[in-house]
Chains A and B, each alone.
Chain A
Amino acid sequence: MIIMAGTLDFLSVNVWHILMAIGNLLILVLILKKFLFKPVQNIIKQREEEIGKTYSDADKALNEAKAEKELYLKKLDDAKQEADDLIKTASDRAKAESAEIISDARQEAERRRRSADEDIELARKKAAAEMRDSISDMVITLAEQVVEKEIDPKAHASLIDDAIESIGE
């Protein structure tokens, strides 16, 4: 290698220099590819992947939330249904019980009314019998005084009774 002093002409053509220019350009292409485009494109690709992952995660979470919401709504519905059932059962039972109580009460009332009626009837009969007796006594007394003779109550009882019967009660 010899160090040269000197210059090229302003306009000169040198095949070696042309080839070197081409070679330098192609080397720079490789350098840019390796040191600029590859790393930046890689990082952009990674970022796109990350963004895609974020989106899919968000979609997944949203779907899960929706499913859980459905589940809770369903549970809420079930609970409502159950409460309704409980209330319905309770009210049905209450109705049945009240109906039973009322019918018991009615029966009791009916029974009491009937026994009262019987009592009244009994009392009336008793009163009628007493009245009949006293009336017959009174009639006998009156008749004795009228006929001035003793009437045998035993002999004429049936006669007097018939008379009272025919007068009416």
Chain B
Amino acid sequence: MEIEVTGAKILFELPFGITITETQVNMWIVMAAITALCIWLTHDLKVRPTSKRQIIAEYIVKTAENFVTSNMGAKWKWFVPYIAALFSLAMFCSLSSLLGMYPPTSDLNTTAGWAIMTFVMITFYKIKTNGPLGYAKSLTEPIFIMTPMNILGEIATPLSMAFRMFGNVASGTVVSALVYAALAVANNALFGWLPGILGEMGEKLPILQLGLPAILSLYFDVFSGVLQAFIFCMLTMLYIASAAETE
């Protein structure tokens, strides 16, 4: 039995070598779903709320604001939509695998893009806070010879963030595929020896595959997906807030 683990399916190819894969299409689907959810939650808002919808919408906004301001401080309130977008996109992209879709977060390009955004903002705030010279100088500390290590350290931040999320989500897919395949083999071994039509049916019916993959999916897709989205947002906020801190 052969198990193939691949990346996203390429769906379209545009000029200049641009390809549109499942990653992009699924991300657009997720974005459309989030947009629809937002519009549904916030239509017909009232000063005196009468619907549960509005209470949920206000709860989401307040929670997002608290999440950002408690980690970064009140002056970062403008940053709330970015973190909310990052969190919701990462979470729903990971959760999309529950619907049998290819999760966009198991594509390294996706997580790398988001990590690069974080890196750009970290560097921007470091330069803004300390000045270009101060930033350059901070790379040569404590002694000049440490400069390559410091640069490596700077790059390691987005790299580790990108690979952490990608690794968690993609490994979930891989482990699920492996377990599913292993269970199929075990299923064949268990029921395949039955004589005649019973044996053929036993091989085709995925009896053993019923329970365990669901539990694994609960961990890899739901728990890990939400947790990784949370960690990604948390690291983004903490790195950027500490980069903007004046010492």
Does A associate with B in a complex? yes
Do the beta carbons of B31 and A27 come within 8 Å of each other?
yes
Bound-complex Cα distance A118 to B115 (A): 139
Q: How far is the CB of B192 from chain A (nearest CB, A)?
A: 31
Do the beta carbons of B7 and A11 come within 8 Å of each other?
yes
Partner of A31, one of B14, B34, B80: B34
Stretch among A18-26, A70-78, A157-165 lining the B interface: A18-26
A contact residues, range:
35 or more
Bound-complex Cα distance A116 to B54 (A): 111
Determine whether B46 belongs to the interface, using a CB cutoff of 8 Å to chain A. Answer: yes
Determine whether B101 belongs to the interface, using a CB cutoff of 8 Å to chain A. Answer: no
Do the beta carbons of B38 and A12 come within 8 Å of each other?
no
Q: How far is the CB of B49 from chain A (nearest CB, A)?
A: 8
Interface string of B24-50 (1 = CB under 8 A from A): 100110010011001101100111100
A25-B114 contact, Cβ under 8 Å, with A6-B10, A35-B39: yes
Residue of A nearest to B80 (CB): A37
Contacts of B157-189 to chain A: CB distance below 8 A: 170
Do the beta carbons of B19 and A14 come within 8 Å of each other?
yes
Partner of A32, one of B17, B38, B45, B108: B38
B contact residues, range:
35 or more
Determine whether A3 belongs to the interface, using a CB cutoff of 8 Å to chain B. Answer: yes
Determine whether B246 belongs to the interface, using a CB cutoff of 8 Å to chain A. Answer: no
Chain B residues with CB below 8 A from A44, complex form: 58, 61
Chain A residues with CB below 8 A from B10, complex form: 4-8
Q: How far is the CB of A31 from chain B (nearest CB, A)?
A: 5
Chain B residues with CB below 8 A from A33, complex form: 81
Other contacts beyond A17-B107, A18-B112: 6, CB < 8 A: A1-B12, A17-B23, A17-B113, A28-B34, A32-B85, A35-B38
11 A-B interface contacts by CB (under 8 A): A8-B8, A17-B24, A25-B114, A29-B81, A32-B88, A36-B38, A39-B45, A40-B61, A43-B45, A44-B58, A44-B61
- Seen from chain A, the residues whose Cβ lies within 8 Å of a Cβ on chain B are 1-14, 16-22, 24-25, 27-29, 31-33, 35-37, 39-44, 46-47, 50
- Seen from chain B, the residues whose Cβ lies within 8 Å of a Cβ on chain A are 5-14, 17-19, 21, 23-24, 27-28, 31, 34-35, 38-39, 41-42, 45-48, 54, 57-58, 60-61, 80-82, 84-86, 88-89, 104, 107-114, 116-117, 170
Interface pairs A-B: 3 shortest CB-CB: A21-B113, A8-B7, A17-B109
